[in-house]
């Protein structure tokens, strides 16, 4: 069973280090050591930064890969047109269990990230800088870095800079989620899609990119586009930070020049010589087979050509001794749990897809396979963020990559191999503890919802309002009589009680559970009271 990755795993480098320069000297580069290793940095104008980004073909390193120069120009143009100052946001939210590259950079080289962010802020006249994080270690490191530079969130500061800590959840890393939390709302996507470049934090044009992107910009600004282009491929110059885990002897974060063979990276981490498959790009990524591994190099274009994805920079091989569909089912179930619970295609579709994949493993036959494919098609491009799209891509890649195993499960008695749990998830498959909104935000509350069978008439409204708890059986009635209410669904549980036509639902507090948090609990109803107790 693979254990959860630490915040800062082993760090390696192929060739000359750029982002990881100085890592062999100290565990964390404070400001004096950062300047000794990297040297001073001269400011650049906005158009200079845009041209530099374009010449080195800098793309966002958080998964989407959007050209940075286009984003920079879009923010600057919107700010000038509206006559307002833009905002710069560093997205350091790295909440996939298999991703640690940005966490490593924030913990060990925070000033390199700040260099890139401050270059952009000064060039565009921004007066607000926010660094979004989700881990205690990254919060400590970045707050210390701001203090070392004398930056604060004081009203009289020329540049107001602060760290925004959010819960460790997959959807927290979405740009819209981070912006919403900075504005004081919950760290989940809003119901509508708005370009941050036009209207982000406080409605101002916002330049938002992930930590590695700003660090790469700082390197290029120091050494220039020509020298930067001497490393890696001509069309994708520079280095890439990868997190390599899964069936490896040494899980690691590694900095490599683009163009390095993927096979070599896997060998450094101690992967099986002939992996059964390699998941590229993380849990919103794609599987490639062993033959494709020999053809692929570390670059966005090369991985796309073999059916893979660079994505968030996570590389996860699995060996021949585990069931690939069973491994993927564990991930699919985790992805379903990570839904923000507000878009039907996501919070209904992803659990349905996971159940369909489980049906395949349990001998559900061709009908189960077709059901998974149908659900994956239905959830795409219908959510408030990219989570359903990325999850659907992972599911489609799974059923497309392991055709022999799929046939064994669909048409036979299975592949006969166990599920070893080689793909890392958080301990117990849940969110890490000790973080704001971690287990407390995503786990069960002290509230239970009950069905009174003497009153229930099978209207089914509870399943429409609260699908996280209620499903209808073949007879049209709920399949459970009582259930714990997830914290994120508490408001919907109250709504289900209020709207039950037969007044057959009630909510009670479970006094045997853990002590309540400081947040407001659900209204506690006495036995037999229904909608009238809560008011209309």
User: What 3 state SS string does 35-98 have?
Assistant: HHHHCCCCCCCHHHHHHHHHHCCCECCCCCCCEHHHHHHHHHHHHHHHCCCCEEEEECCCCCCC
Decide if pLDDT at 330 tops 60: yes
Residue 178 in contact with residue 170, Cβ under 8 Å?
no
Q: Which of helix, strand or coil describes residue 450?
A: strand
Decide if pLDDT at 293 tops 80: yes
| Cα dihedral 99/105/107/110 (nearest 10) | -150
- Where are the strands (E) in 217-301, listed by range? 239-244, 252-257, 277-280, 286-288
CA gap 492, 42 in Å, rounded: 53
Q: What is the mean pLDDT of residues 40-48?
A: 93
CA gap 502, 276 in Å, rounded: 54
Sheet containing strand 87-91, strands side by side: 160-165, 128-133, 87-91, 206-210
- pLDDT category of residue 530 using cuts at 50, 70 and 90: very low
The closest of 356, 377, 378 to 367, measured between CA atoms, is 356
- pLDDT category of residue 513 using cuts at 50, 70 and 90: very low
Check residue 349 and report its DSSP letter: H
Report in angstroms the alpha-carbon separations of 70 from 52, 54, 84, 240. Answer: 12, 8, 19, 20
Write down the pLDDT at residue 433: 35
> What are 336's two structure tokens?
């379903």
Q: What is the mean pLDDT of residues 43-61?
A: 94
Decide if pLDDT at 259 tops 70: yes
Sheet containing strand 10-13, strands side by side: 10-13, 252-257, 239-244, 314-318, 277-280, 286-288
196 or 380, which is more confident: 196
Sheet containing strand 482-486, strands side by side: 482-486, 444-451, 505-509
Decide if pLDDT at 12 tops 80: yes
Report in angstroms the alpha-carbon separations of 498 from 472, 478, 489. Answer: 19, 17, 14
The closest of 332, 303, 478, 484 to 398, measured between CA atoms, is 332
Decide if pLDDT at 486 tops 80: no
Write down the pLDDT at residue 133: 97
CA gap 214, 137 in Å, rounded: 19
Check residue 3 and report its DSSP letter: P
Enumerate residues 6+ apart whose C-beta is below 8 A from 16: 231
Residue 171 in contact with residue 39, Cβ under 8 Å?
no
Residue 21 in contact with residue 33, Cβ under 8 Å?
no
- pLDDT category of residue 437 using cuts at 50, 70 and 90: very low
Decide if pLDDT at 444 tops 70: no
- pLDDT category of residue 523 using cuts at 50, 70 and 90: very low
The answer to whether the predicted template modeling score (pTM) of the entire model surpasses 0.85 is: no
Q: What is the mean pLDDT of residues 417-431?
A: 78
Residue 177 in contact with residue 385, Cβ under 8 Å?
yes
Residue 501: exposure state from Cβ atoms within 10 A (0-12, 13-18, ≥19): exposed
Check residue 151 and report its DSSP letter: -
Write down the pLDDT at residue 383: 76
Pairing type for strands 277-280 and 314-318 reads: antiparallel
CA gap 404, 394 in Å, rounded: 18
Residue 325 in contact with residue 395, Cβ under 8 Å?
no
Write down the pLDDT at residue 2: 56
Decide if pLDDT at 393 tops 90: yes
Q: What is the mean pLDDT of residues 339-356?
A: 84
Least confident of 175-184, 295-304, 314-323, 484-493: 484-493
CA 171, 334, 358 angle in degrees (round to 5)? Answer: 140
- pLDDT category of residue 511 using cuts at 50, 70 and 90: low
CA gap 13, 9 in Å, rounded: 13
Helix residue spans in 65-210 (DSSP H): 68-82, 101-108, 110-124, 136-148, 175-182
- pLDDT category of residue 55 using cuts at 50, 70 and 90: very high
Q: What is the mean pLDDT of residues 258-279?
A: 96
343 or 433, which is more confident: 343
- pLDDT category of residue 436 using cuts at 50, 70 and 90: very low
Write down the pLDDT at residue 3: 64
Write down the pLDDT at residue 526: 31
Q: What are the tens digits of pLDDT across the range 127-174?
A: 999 999 999 999 999 999 999 999 999 988 999 999 999 998 888 889
CA gap 277, 3 in Å, rounded: 20
CA gap 35, 505 in Å, rounded: 63
Residue 358: exposure state from Cβ atoms within 10 A (0-12, 13-18, ≥19): middle
Decide if pLDDT at 1 tops 80: no
Decide if pLDDT at 535 tops 80: no
For residue 130, what are the β-bridge partners? 89, 162
Write down the pLDDT at residue 412: 84
- Which of 46-55, 372-381, 524-533 is most confident? 46-55
Check residue 281 and report its DSSP letter: S
- pLDDT category of residue 427 using cuts at 50, 70 and 90: low
CA gap 28, 106 in Å, rounded: 9
Looking at every residue in the chain, the average pLDDT score rounds to 87
Write down the pLDDT at residue 381: 76
- pLDDT category of residue 335 using cuts at 50, 70 and 90: very high
The closest of 312, 426, 421, 328 to 7, measured between CA atoms, is 426
Write down the pLDDT at residue 188: 87
> What are 210's two structure tokens?
């992930």
Q: What is the mean pLDDT of residues 488-507?
A: 87
Write down the pLDDT at residue 374: 87
Decide if pLDDT at 288 tops 90: yes
Decide if pLDDT at 47 tops 50: yes
């Amino acid at each position: 069973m693979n254990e959860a990755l630490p915040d800062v795993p082993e760090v390696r480098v192929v060739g000359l280090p750029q982002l990881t320069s100085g890592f062999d000297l100290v565990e964390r580069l404070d400001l004096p050591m950062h300047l000794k290793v990297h040297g001073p940095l001269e400011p650049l104008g906005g158009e200079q930064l845009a041209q530099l980004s374009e010449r080195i073909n800098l793309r966002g390193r958080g998964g989407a890969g959007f050209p940075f120069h286009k984003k920079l120009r879009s923010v600057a143009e919107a700010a000038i047109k509206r006559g307002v100052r833009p905002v710069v946001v560093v997205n350091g939210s790295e909440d996939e269990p298999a991703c640690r590259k940005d966490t490593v950079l924030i913990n060990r080289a925070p000033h390199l990230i700040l260099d890139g962010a401050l270059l952009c802020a000064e060039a565009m006249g921004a007066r607000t800088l926010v660094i979004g994080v989700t881990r205690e270690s990254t919060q400590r490191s970045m707050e210390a870095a701001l203090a070392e530079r004398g930056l604060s969130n004081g009203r009289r500061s020329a540049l107001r800079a602060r760290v925004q800590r959010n819960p460790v959840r997959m959807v927290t890393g979405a740009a819209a989620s981070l912006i919403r939390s900075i504005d004081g709302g919950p760290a989940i996507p809003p119901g509508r899609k708005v370009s941050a470049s036009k209207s982000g934090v406080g409605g101002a044009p916002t330049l938002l990119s992930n930590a590695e992107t700003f660090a790469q910009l700082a390197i290029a600004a120091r050494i220039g586009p020509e020298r930067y282009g001497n490393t890696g491929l001509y069309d994708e110059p520079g280095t890439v930070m990868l997190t390599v885990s899964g069936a490896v002897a040494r899980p690691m974060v590694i900095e490599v020049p683009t163009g390095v063979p993927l096979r070599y990276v896997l060998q450094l981490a101690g992967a099986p010589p002939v992996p059964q498959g390699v998941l590229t790009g993380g849990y919103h990524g794609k599987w490639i087979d062993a033959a494709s591994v020999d053809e692929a190099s570390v670059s966005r274009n090369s991985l796309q050509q073999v059916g893979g994805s660079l994505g968030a920079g996570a590389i996860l091989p699995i060996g021949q001794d585990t069931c690939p569909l069973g491994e993927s089912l564990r991930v699919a179930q985790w992805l379903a749990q990570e839904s923000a619970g507000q878009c039907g295609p996501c919070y209904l579709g992803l659990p349905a897809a996971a159940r369909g994949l489980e049906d395949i493993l349990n001998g559900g036959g061709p009908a189960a396979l077709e059901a998974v494919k149908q659900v994956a098609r239905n959830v795409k491009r219908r959510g408030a963020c990219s989570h359903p799209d990325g999850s659907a891509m992972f599911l489609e890649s799974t059923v497309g990559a392991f055709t022999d195993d799929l046939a064994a499960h669909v048409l036979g008695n299975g592949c006969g191999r166990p599920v070893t749990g080689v793909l890392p998830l958080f301990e117990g498959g849940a969110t890490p503890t000790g973080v704001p909104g971690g287990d407390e935000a995503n786990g069960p509350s002290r509230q239970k919802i009950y069905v009174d069978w003497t009153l229930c008439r099978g209207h089914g409204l509870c399943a429409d309002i609260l699908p996280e708890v209620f499903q209808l059986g073949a007879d049209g009635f709920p399949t459970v009589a009582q259930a714990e209410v997830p914290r994120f669904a508490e408001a919907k549980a109250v709504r289900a009680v209020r709207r039950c036509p037969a007044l057959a639902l009630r909510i009670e507090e479970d006094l045997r559970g853990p002590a309540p948090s400081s947040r407001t609990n659900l209204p506690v109803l006495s036995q037999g009271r229904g909608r009238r107790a809560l008011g209309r």
